[in-house]
Chain A
Amino acid sequence: MNKEHLSDLDLLRLRFWLSQIVLLLALGGLIYEGVSRSPLLLILTVFVSCTVFYPPLSGIVPRRLAGKLSLLLLVLVIMDFALFWRYSVDPIIRMGLLIIVMRTIFYRTGRETSQVLVMALGMIMLTGVTSVSVSYALQLVLFVPLAMILLILLTVWDPDSRDLMTHEDWKGFSVSAFAGRLMRALNWRFPTMIMCGTLVLLLMSTSMFFVFPRFNFGMGLSMKRQTPEGSAMVGFSEDFSLGGISEILDDDTVAFRVHPESTSSMPRIPYWRMLVLDRYERGSFARSDRSAGPLHPLLQAGSRFYLPHRSFSPDFPRENGYDWTFYLEGSVSRFLPYPGAFGGLRFQKTEDFEFDSVFGTFNLLKIPSTMTVYQLGGLHPETMFVPSVLDRYLISRATQMFHPSALKEIGSLQYPHTTRTLVLNDPDREYLMSQVMSIRREMDEVGSNDFLQFAVAYLQRNHEYSLKPPVHRSTSSDDDPVIDWMRRGSSGHCEYFAAAFTLLSRAAGYPCRIVKGFLGGEWSEYREYFVVRNRNAHAWCEVFNAESGWTRYDPTPSSGSGWSDLETGTGRSGFATRWSGWVDTVRMRYYRYVIDFDEQDQMDVAMIVRYRFSSWGSVFEKSSAAIARWMAGGTGGSSGKLQKGIVWKGVGISIIVFGVGIIVFKLSRRIIRRPHSVRRNSSVSRGYEARMRWKSRKVLRGILTDRVDSMGPVFSQLQCIRFGRVSDWPDRPGRVIRDAARDLRRSIRDRRRRKK
């Protein structure tokens, strides 16, 4: 089949077209990851997109203006850097965009095309650095083959020929016709070469990435996107008002992932504890400042931390727990989620963090902008840490109720008294007490004394769950919004239920605090990890009990549905197609093995490789020793049987490998020969043809190796036999080859004689 050949003009067009696609890839990445919101970026992206379909648009500005525009660009860039030097990334992006503008509004030479390629790579790397997103890896994977083709087009272009396009070159151009011509001209060799090149490049760069020695000189180039301190995801800061968490309940992005040892260790309804709030006042929850109090948070800096013994009951099996690895996304919270008591905490790299033994919370000092990886060792899900020594003051059930006018006194209260105080005005207090009495009456009717369970039932009976509770305006500024919500019997989400339960519990004399974190999640069978999304954010309560310490109560209806399965899609939200699970897995692995790869991981990889090699080496040694013994006659008995088994296995594997090798060889020969297939001459058998070609190859090699010059005419005949059609062969190819071989031998002999 005759392939269509691309003309020089086609190659120029292809070069332009590909460079525009590469630019779109880079600019699209900047927009998608939100690295820059510059209007210039949007305009440039639209312009480049238009030039893909209407290329003459690219040469709208005459090239004679290039010098003046370059000067203007230089001035703009200098001014930009002078004015906005503090925001190091933004001026760099703008500079790159301006250079791309310069290279897009004119037709480009080959050298300028390579500049565009460099700028695109720079933009992609900038996107990767600032967004730390997996899309960077995807961009690189797409960029590599496109850049390869583009660079090849540049190097196969005659440096002496015309390099610049004009409007004339685009006359009669249509994308579909051009694409069709490309397809017709496409030879299987070129795409194969590009694919193999891409694969080899990816393999080489992966290997290099793993073996690069990791030193941190610690100069801290400010290339990461700056996250303002203290701005965690809504609902996970140290204080919040009612309704704060509802903003993220529609957010489907991943908050964190958990890699448990096994599914059996995963509780049916996992509660991921993060933040404890003890203060309550008019619908706002806050955390007591404990930095100056007794048992203040333990500041740690390091990669490993073992919890003090006082955090556990004497019978707590610290050594027998599970090891779970957590991958907390950036900008979620500085508080680390965990499902139960554990013995030790290990970070992937050195971190500054605090352990608050009173609240049982762990937090980093800053909200991480990138993924944080940590491992909990000796974990026992569903088990609580023992109460702190401060909690012994909660044994008395005296409830303190304050009028809002006594706010100053409240402010001076310290933990744990904050867990049983109520700041309510008189009508709200009366209403709350009446509800408590109502619950107690119900208890008396059935003869129970479990107030808390009845309080949960009371709330679930009178209120429905809703992510969008109705908004009511309080008649007075002193009115408590939670009491108002209870009065109206409105629907609400977990925060309302937890707040109401807290008020009821405290009114009944039970110390109660609100816990924020996540509930449930989705299990991915695909890679065996647990995904917890922002919509899994939840609030529940912990009530102090003199016997068992802080006990969890979750008054929110439908919170006991358990976790769903990513694979089957049985989850509450309907997430969970196989594809999204796979994408999520890739993303997690990217974070795990690329973004958070460090010296320790390097050592781990090295150990794995060493182990693999040593295991292969031992297998090889055993096999060779067995074969050697078998060859020597064997030793008989069971060991002899074993040796024979190994030998037969080896023989079988060898036969299979040999057979597969022959098949692959034959197939490859067929594939290779196909484009050179020649019309068969019926007078010459296939075997004869092959024999002649093989013989001529030998003689040709000899001529070329020994640099024999005096065989010009014979050389062309031999080439004809080796590569040409059978119909073009000389009459007696065997004789030609024989004579050539004889002449070759003679000339070599003569040369040797002359040398002597």
Chain B
Amino acid sequence: MSLEAWISRMPVRLTKAGWWFVVAAVLTGISAYHSANNVLFLGLSFLLSGLLLNGLISWWNFSRLTFSNLRVGQSRAGEQTGIILDMLDLKKILPSYGLIALIEIVSPSGDVRLIRRFIRRVAGRRFVEIEFLWNPQKRGIHRIRLVRIESTFPFGFILKTYPMKLSTKALVWPAGVDVSGGLEFPSAHPDGLAVLRRSAGSMMDEIEGLRDYRKGDPMRHIHWRKTARTGIPVVKVGRSEQGRPQYRMAFDFEQRHFASEEQVDTYCGFVGSLSERLLEEGKDLEMILHCGDPLRIGGYAAWSRFMDELAVIEPSEESFADDSIRKSGFCVVSPPDILGRTVMSGGIGPRFASIASENRHSKVIR
């Protein structure tokens, strides 16, 4: 271990100002001993006491602080999200000041990023949630670790570090791709690519759960009683009813289609955005990711599961069973169609192809 690394791991170390302070104290001490001047001895004792008091208050500032429950909100590549850390200050009299929490995020590709969050004051006997803003750049599983809490409080001469071991994992969905421009799907077209089923039943015959309102949710899905009680708009998430217009799509993830990792991400982003868009439009979906089982997406809970799969999916060496899937009534979407290199295989239409081509890279929301 290098000296620098060893010093950086020390729980208490002098800051730059602290080193200057020590130099000043040493010079004062030398002057005091060379001149036997008590005024200088007095100055020296003040300087050293300041350093000592800094350590004491710093220790007190960290005492009875508890950190727990590191968690991440739903996150999507390219969109800002929050990492929440619970902090409990059990001190009775004095607050804690000037804390800096450091979070280390390791992306699926192994990139390490540190996020700092400065907390100016936490009152004694208070529970607070510390929020770190994070903008994930890649889909996949990110490892998030609270590395340490540090502070230079009160005088800035000493950096006291409190190593932490809290960690969690965050599943980052693929980045959103703008698929809103002119995407028009045949809503009742029985041929070819999409199979339409109709039902006279209600839109939501069975409630799967509740979730926060998102832009685009139909008003009829709002759970008014819960919304009134909590003050936060909440919508009902229901199991998709029979008879809704159903789009059956299969996405090809064969390795040979992708030249780079970015292409995989873009393709995943397109698949996610497309499914989200269709879901927002009230469409009932049935999706197949490469050779997996068909996943019926009738509501947001199922769509979340679909996105979770999409977040971690990797290109497969296994060849895509194109014909058999087509025969079972699925529209097959291949990466070349989306990445704009070849003509669409299924014939959703040239418009779709052009939009997909435009959205290849640049429209990924960052």
> A residues touching B (Cβ–Cβ < 8 Å)?
114, 118, 121, 125, 128-129, 132, 136-137, 140, 144, 148, 151-152, 154-156, 158-161, 189, 193, 197, 200-201, 204-206, 208-209, 212, 214-221, 223-224, 594-597, 672, 676, 704, 712, 715, 719, 723
Contacts and interface: CB of A to CB of B under 8 A. Distances in A.
B68 interface: yes
Contact of A140 (B36, B46, B53): B46
B49 A219 contact: no
A204 B53 contact: yes
B68 A114 contact: no
Nearest to A156: B98
Contacts of A723: 125-127
Nearest to B153: A155
B257 interface: no
Contact of A118 (B20, B40, B98): B20
Interface stretch (B116-124, B241-249, B314-322): B116-124
Interface stretch (B88-96, B134-142, B212-220): B88-96
Nearest to A193: B94
B153 A152 contact: yes
A155 B68 CA distance: 25
Nearest to A672: B92
B66 interface: yes
Contacts of A224: 35, 37
A114 B156 contact: yes
Nearest to B24: A118
Contact of A223 (B37, B44, B97, B127): B37
Nearest to A599: B36
B33 A155 contact: no
Interface string B20-38: 1000100010010111111
A209 B45 contact: yes
B334 interface: no
Contacts of A197: 53, 57, 154
B75 interface: no
Given A152-B153, A193-B94, A208 B48 contact: yes
Contact of A189 (B24, B94, B127): B94
B333 to A, nearest CB: 40
Nearest to B67: A704
Given A217-B34, A221-B35, A155 B97 contact: yes
Given A125-B28, A189-B93, A204-B52, A597 B35 contact: no
Nearest to B21: A118
Contacts of B50: 201
A121 B50 CA distance: 12
Given A128-B42, A155-B152, A215-B36, 13 more contacts: A114-B156, A118-B24, A189-B95, A193-B94, A205-B49, A206-B45, A223-B40, A224-B37, A594-B38, A594-B39, A594-B42, A596-B38, A719-B127
B132 interface: no
A209 B97 contact: no
Contact of A125 (B17, B33, B43, B49): B43
B345 interface: no
B258 interface: no
B39 A217 contact: no
What are the nearest 8 A-B pairs in CB distance? A208-B45, A216-B36, A204-B49, A219-B34, A205-B49, A158-B118, A205-B45, A151-B155
Given A114-B17, A114-B156, A205-B45, A216 B33 contact: yes
Nearest to B20: A118
Nearest to B155: A151
12 contacts: A114-B17, A136-B42, A151-B155, A155-B154, A200-B56, A208-B44, A208-B45, A220-B34, A672-B93, A676-B125, A712-B69, A723-B126
B204 to A, nearest CB: 27
A595 B50 CA distance: 21
Contacts, number: 135
A156 B34 contact: no
Nearest to A671: B93
Contacts of A132: 39
A267 to B, nearest CB: 34
B162 interface: no
Contact of A151 (B38, B48, B94, B154): B154
Interface residues of B, number: 50
A136 B46 contact: no
Contacts of B224: none
A509 to B, nearest CB: 54
A136 B153 contact: no
Interface string B138-177: 0000000000000111111000000000000000000000
B116 A212 contact: no
A696 to B, nearest CB: 12
A156 B153 contact: yes
Contacts of B152: 155
A214 B36 contact: yes
Contact of B46 (A201, A214, A597): A201
Contact of A597 (B38, B68, B88, B154): B38
A205 B42 contact: yes
Contacts of A129: 37, 39-40
Nearest to A213: B33
B48 A221 contact: no
Contact of B33 (A159, A193, A200, A217): A217
Contact of B31 (A160, A223, A712): A223
A603 to B, nearest CB: 16
A125 B156 contact: no
Contacts of A114: 17, 156
A125 B42 CA distance: 9
A128 B34 contact: no
A114 B24 CA distance: 13
Given A158-B118, A159-B118, A212-B44, A223 B49 contact: no
A204 B49 CA distance: 6
B155 A156 contact: no
A160 B100 CA distance: 11
B35 A223 contact: yes
Contact of B45 (A136, A212, A216): A212
Contacts of A218: 34, 36
Contacts of A148: 154-155
Contacts of B53: 197, 200-201, 204
A118 B21 CA distance: 9
Contacts of B31: 221, 223
Interface in B83-112: 88, 92-95, 97-98, 100
A201 B24 CA distance: 18
A144 B151 CA distance: 21
Find the residue from B34, B39, B68 having the highest chain A CB count within 10 A: B39
B39 A136 contact: yes
B169 to A, nearest CB: 14
A346 to B, nearest CB: 19
B43 A155 contact: no
B97 to A, nearest CB: 5
B118 A160 contact: yes
A159 B156 CA distance: 12
A205 B69 CA distance: 43
Interface in B292-334: none
B175 to A, nearest CB: 26
A144 B52 CA distance: 14
Nearest to B121: A156
A219 B42 contact: no
A214 B94 CA distance: 38
Given A154-B156, A155-B97, A595 B39 contact: yes
A178 B156 CA distance: 26
Nearest to B44: A212
A154 B93 CA distance: 22
B157 to A, nearest CB: 8
A152 B155 contact: yes
Nearest to B39: A128
A209 B42 contact: yes
A723 B123 CA distance: 12
A152 B49 contact: no
A118 B17 CA distance: 10
